A and B are shown apart, each in its own frame.
Chain A
């Protein structure tokens, strides 16, 4: 049979394709619908959080930081409760990473404040002696791309029915609504309001002034993103 196949390239290619294709079908498909369901308390990203997630990806933070806590005693003691599938329901794509050159960040907001992160990113070594993380001074100057964040948010709602403007169940039994701005101008206003709440919890006066003047440096968006990782 194999001799015969080697003289018939088309059927040979079909044979190869069948052999390589079905492992994916068997392994990926069965749990597909179930695995993308959010759990109670999992919220869609707000406009500023989305912008922050973009900054995170743009700087490739995931090259060094994981967002996946595996169910080992040493991991849960260091980083908190092990990760659950539904918590990632609104992550497109996932950001688990595959290296822990730096620590895991999946629940970083449980033990790092906005103030700490704000001081950390400008000079990591000052807060953590021995750290090999680069400094990120440009994040404190470059403006956040709210337009693209809004487009991403709109795409999530339009194509994947991410539940904006509807009640989201929370762990304490109450509900909350994550708003999706009706237009670009409203999105900017919404982001600025969120940004103010973030910088007020920090201590960087320059950032507070920037936000007061209607500017949102990238670090503010990143802080908003990190602050909801819990």
Chain B
């Protein structure tokens, strides 16, 4: 009994794998659509004038962001957790009926919440706060899902055989705690249905309406404390958890340095939360908060690069694998984009740069080199690594994977270069003066000049979406027609057909 390898139960991991793929396709398609709405306003009514209010840019923008954050990314985090968690803790989900039940309950509830949440945003039931747009009934649903995930994490840890927690587990725990804290505080709001008017009547108006606990400047401060750190704890922390597991596993290399991982982990935890103020430079929040935000953003380079360098050096002496395996390529480019994005962020957080860059397209450019280049690349790499092990089949096609890699890389490069140029163009034209010291350009002059960059960005996004469809196809074909793998436990490099 003791000598037999553990039979891990991947039921829940498989379920979340499907939602990762489906919400990824939905979220990215909407992204491409709204990118073209900015380039060609006629696209706003592409599905006809009767439903134009559901397809206009304003309505679909939160649909895009929420679908890729709470759909694609969070699904990816859950899918990898239900795979990685069991393996590094050396305990199978099958050993606990309770945890299995919690896992499945979490999935089905999550599915309901995501579908309802996305539908509610299409209806325009929004709080307007970025990435916290969903109204209070959805917030309650998200909270229950999150608590269930917490039970799952600490439950599995409670029955673990491996006493020492592997680095990935640190990051999953931090994801759970960080998002819980941020989400609850930022969504503190009172449903207006609870209000009683002077005549004593209550239950007036819509159930999908609330009033924030914070007003004005406070509201902004709490929102960007949340907004910035939601990026930290959804787009950075769990993705690092993934790369610390999948890169050493896929390459067969030990993590380069334990000390560097310690420094990066605790450094990241401490520093990240201070940096939210950089979203509010030159605004009405106190100057010292702005300065703290700016300074800590620059300090943040240290722990960020610590993790990234630790990953790159893990490949020391084994760089040949990067050339040979498209799967390793995804992960190495992901950590490279992570370095790139975490250098760009601090540059944007410097006050004098921010004076030009804030409110411009440089910002979505920055967001997307992080999310497309780092987050989505890493999640796809994780699922590619998991698929043969979950379904005991060889990956369907190495050449599709390689083509996908280059198509998506080209897409990301087109995306951020066009948005850089657009952003700097906006920043400089808005402030340009003529020889008499008057403003040189009207606002719409600048809008007109952005057209080519919006178009290039749309094309970049479309290439990325095509790559994601290739990924989805590859995974589906792996599951349905991939060659059966006989080994009970696959080592290192994932098997893939040419």
Contact = CB atoms under 8 A, between A and B. Distances in A.
Indicate whether A and B interact: yes
Interface of A: 2-3, 6-7, 9, 12-13, 16-17, 19-21, 23-24, 27-28, 30-32, 35-36, 54, 57-64, 66, 68, 70-75, 77-78, 83-103, 125, 128-138, 145, 147-152, 154-156, 158-160, 180-184
A172 B360 CA distance: 37
Interface residues of B, number: 97
Interface stretch (B22-30, B94-102, B206-214, B488-496): B206-214
Contacts of B363: 98-99
B220 A96 contact: yes
Contacts, number: 280
Contacts of A59: 53, 56, 58-59, 124
A134 B57 contact: yes
B218 interface: yes
Nearest to B431: A74
Nearest to A124: B41
Interface string B259-302: 00010001001101110110100111110010011000000000
A28 B173 contact: no
Interface in B289-338: 289, 292-293
Contacts of A63: 57-58, 61-62
Contacts of B439: 74, 77-78
A194 B154 CA distance: 56
B119 interface: no
Interface in B135-174: 154, 157, 163-165, 170, 173-174
Interface stretch (B7-15, B78-86, B443-451): B443-451
A156 B189 CA distance: 11
B192 A132 contact: no
Contacts of B209: 54, 148, 151-152
A87 B219 CA distance: 13
B224 to A, nearest CB: 9
A27 B289 contact: yes
B61 A36 contact: no
B49 A27 contact: no
B193 A151 contact: yes
Interface string B426-457: 10001111000011000111011000000000
11 contacts: A9-B157, A20-B174, A20-B269, A28-B221, A74-B433, A101-B38, A129-B444, A138-B53, A150-B204, A150-B205, A183-B197
